[in-house]
Amino acid sequence: MAKELTSRETDYAKWYNDLVIKADLAENSGVRGCMVIKPYGYSIWEKIQAELDRKFKETGHVNAYFPLFIPKSYLSKEAAHVEGFAKECAVVTHYRLKNSPDKKGVVVDEEAKLEEELIVRPTSETIIWDTYKNWIQSYRDLPLLINQWANVVRWEMRTRLFLRTAEFLWQEGHTAHATREEAIAEAEQMLNVYADFVENFMAIPVIKGVKSPNERFAGAEETYCIEAMMQDGKALQAGTSHFLGQNFAKAFDVKFANREGREEYVWATSWGVSTRLIGALIMTHSDDNGLVLPPKLAPIQVVIVPIYRGKEDFENVDVVARGIFENLKKAGITVKYDDRDTHKPGWKFNEYELKGVPIRIAIGPKDVENNQVEIARRDTLQKFTVSQIGLTDYIKILLEEIQQNIFEKARKFRDSMITRADTWDEFVQILETKGGFISAHWDGTPETEEKIKELTKATIRCIPLDAQPEEGKCILTGKPSSKRVFFARAY
RNA sequence: CGGGAUGUAGCGCAGUUGGUAGCGCACCUGGUUUGGGACCAGGGGGUCCCAGGUUCGAGUCCUGGUAUCCCGACCA
Helix axes A276-285, A12-22, angle to 10 degrees: 110
Radius of gyration, alpha carbons of chain A: 26
A418-488 has which fold?
Translation Initiation Factor IF3 (3.30.110)
Helix axes A39-58, A180-200, angle to 10 degrees: 140
Mean pLDDT, chain A, integer? 93
Lowest mean pLDDT among A102-116, A347-361, A454-468: A102-116
Query: How far is it, in rounded angstroms, from Cα A461 to Cα A473?
Result: 19
Q: Please, where in chain A does CATH 3.40.50.800 lie?
A: 302-399
Q: Please, where in chain A does CATH 3.30.110.30 lie?
A: 418-488
Q: Please state whether strand B lies within 7 Å of residue A80 at its CB atom.
A: no
Q: Please state whether strand B lies within 7 Å of residue A2 at its CB atom.
A: yes
Give the pLDDT band of residue A106 (cuts 50, 70, 90): confident
* The CATH number, out of the four listed (3.40.50.150, 3.50.50.60, 3.30.1300.30, 3.30.930.10), of the domain defined by the range A12-60+125-285: 3.30.930.10
Hits for CB < 7 Å against strand B across A residues 204-263: 211, 215-218, 237, 240
Given a cut of 50, whether residue A240 has pLDDT beyond it is yes
Closest CA to A218 of A183, A189, A195, A251: A251
Give the pLDDT band of residue A1 (cuts 50, 70, 90): very low
Q: What is the predicted pLDDT for the residue at A104?
A: 63
Nucleotide nearest A353, from its CA to each C1': B36
Q: Render A302-318 in DSSP notation, one character per residue.
A: EEEEE--SHHHHHHHHH
Q: How many Å from the CA of A111 to C1' of B65?
A: 27
Given a cut of 70, whether residue A140 has pLDDT beyond it is yes
User: Helices (H), strands (E): how many in chain A?
Assistant: 14, 27
pLDDT in tens, A434-491: 999 999 999 999 999 999 998 999 999 999 999 999 999 999 999 999 999 999 999 9
Burial-class residue A366 by CB neighbours within 10 Å (0-12, 13-18, 19+): exposed
Q: How many Å from the CA of A30 to C1' of B49?
A: 14
Q: Please state whether strand B lies within 7 Å of residue A338 at its CB atom.
A: no
pLDDT in tens, A276-295: 999 999 999 999 999 999 99
Q: Please state whether strand B lies within 7 Å of residue A309 at its CB atom.
A: yes
Instruction: Report yes or no: A475 and A441 within 8 Å, Cβ to Cβ.
Output: yes
* The CATH number, out of the four listed (3.40.50.720, 3.40.50.920, 3.30.70.141, 3.40.50.800), of the domain defined by the range A302-399: 3.40.50.800
Q: Please state whether strand B lies within 7 Å of residue A85 at its CB atom.
A: yes
Q: Please state whether strand B lies within 7 Å of residue A289 at its CB atom.
A: yes
Which bases of chain B are under 7 A from a protein CB atom?
1, 25-26, 33-38, 67-76
Q: Please, where in chain A does CATH 3.30.930.10 lie?
A: 12-60+125-285
Given a cut of 80, whether residue A132 has pLDDT beyond it is yes
Query: How far is it, in rounded angstroms, from Cα A44 to Cα A84?
Result: 31
